[in-house]
Every structure is written in C-alpha cells, then in structure tokens.
C-alpha cells in the first residue's frame, strides 16, 4: 500500500519535511492499518491535487496535510478519545518546532479533526479540503487493511483444511 509519488513540483514542496529525521519516525507508528507516514503522505498528495485544481493555496495544503498527524503518541484504549481530540494540538506543536508554519498550515493541522472536535474550526477552504481528504483516506486505508486481513485469514484456513484433508 506504499504510495509512489512522481509529481516533481509536489516532491519539491515537501522534500524538506520528508527528509527530516524526526518526521521520518512516523514510519514506525501504525495508523488506520497503515503507517502514520504513509497516511500523512496520502492526505497531503490528494489535498495538494484538489487544491491545485481549484486554484487554492496548494503549497500550504501539501505541507499542512503532511504535518497534520505529526505526533508520536500511540492510541491506547483508555486514552483513545482524549488523544483523538488532542493530537492536532500536539502535531501543531511538533510542526512549529521543526518547520516554519504559516497561518493556513497551522489551521489545517489544528482543525483537521473537525467536526469530531468542534472547538477548532477550519477557517480556510484548504483546511476543509485536508480535513475531508483525511476522513476519506482513513476509510480507504481501513477497508484495504481489513480486506487484506480477511484474505489472509481465509487463505490460511484453506491451507490448514487442505493439509488436514490430504495428509
């Protein structure tokens, strides 16, 4: 499910983020049945494409989208709700620590959980787009992840049955 990105302009816009040592650590965190890095790249790339098509600030959409889940906490059952609400703030703090963030990028990051977190609203069209792409990506990644798991289990059961019947 790795995302290969061949868009030269896009790669130029986000290259400093993708090269950043701290940011690269997101690869080690599972997120929606994929890695947090892959999820962030997917949200960033599709937000960039949509904003470019609509003649919006696609640079901020690409960068804000890439940084929207820049946090290293893991979802544990008892704290999942709190983290779901708080992680945009943590991501914004991390983004500001490592990169220069403009006001559109900041709003993209802090409001991407809207309306699940109604306190922070998207104030720009780019923020609405990233927030929507984030939700669509989550659905896509989870469905691919669950489909792969089901196929794996069905395949494993078929092999066991075959071995049981013919050994």
Which residues contact Fe ion by CB under 5 A? 69, 134
Output the smallest distance, CB 68 to Fe ion, in A: 6
Helices 8-19 and 36-53, axial angle in degrees (round to 10): 140
Closest distance of CB 159 from Fe ion, Å: 36
Closest approach, Cβ 28 to Fe ion, in A, equals: 16
Q: Which of 46, 7, 18, 74 is nearest to 135 (CA)?
A: 46
38 vs 134 by CB, closer to Fe ion: 134
What are the start-end ranges of the E strands in the chain?
30-31, 34-35
- Which of 39/150 has CB closer to Fe ion? 39
CA separation, residue 14 to residues 86, 99, 113, 153 (Å): 25, 11, 22, 38
Question: Strands (DSSP E) along 33-95, which ranges?
Answer: 34-35
Q: Which is nearer to Fe ion, 56 or 91 (CB)?
A: 91
* Shortest distance in whole angstroms from residue 89 CB to Fe ion: 11
Q: Which is nearer to Fe ion, 57 or 110 (CB)?
A: 110
In the complex, the smallest distance separating the C-beta of residue 79 from Fe ion, rounded to whole angstroms, is 15
Task: Show the CA angle centred on residue 129, arms to residues 68 and 42, nearest 5°.
Answer: 55
- How far is residue 139 from each of residues 15, 42, 106, 147, 166, measured CA to CA in Å? 27, 12, 24, 12, 40
Which residue, 57 or 134, is less far from Fe ion as judged by CB? 134
């Amino acid at each position: 499910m790795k995302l290969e990105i061949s868009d030269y302009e896009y790669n130029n816009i986000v290259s400093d983020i993708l090269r950043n040592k701290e940011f690269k650590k997101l690869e080690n965190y599972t997120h929606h049945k994929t890695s947090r890095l892959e999820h962030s790249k997917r949200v960033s790339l599709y937000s960039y494409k949509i904003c470019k098509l609509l003649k919006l600030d696609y640079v901020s959409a690409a960068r804000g989208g890439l940084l929207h889940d820049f946090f290293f906490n893991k979802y544990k059952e008892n704290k999942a709700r709190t983290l779901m609400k708080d992680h945009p703030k943590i991501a914004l703090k991390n983004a500001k620590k490592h990169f220069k963030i403009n006001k559109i990028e900041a709003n993209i990051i802090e409001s991407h959980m809207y309306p699940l977190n109604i306190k922070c609203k998207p104030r720009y069209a780019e923020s609405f787009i990233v927030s929507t792409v984030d939700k669509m990506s989550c659905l896509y990644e989870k469905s691919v992840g669950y489909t792969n798991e089901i196929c794996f289990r069905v395949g494993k059961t078929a092999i066991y049955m075959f071995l049981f019947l013919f050994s």
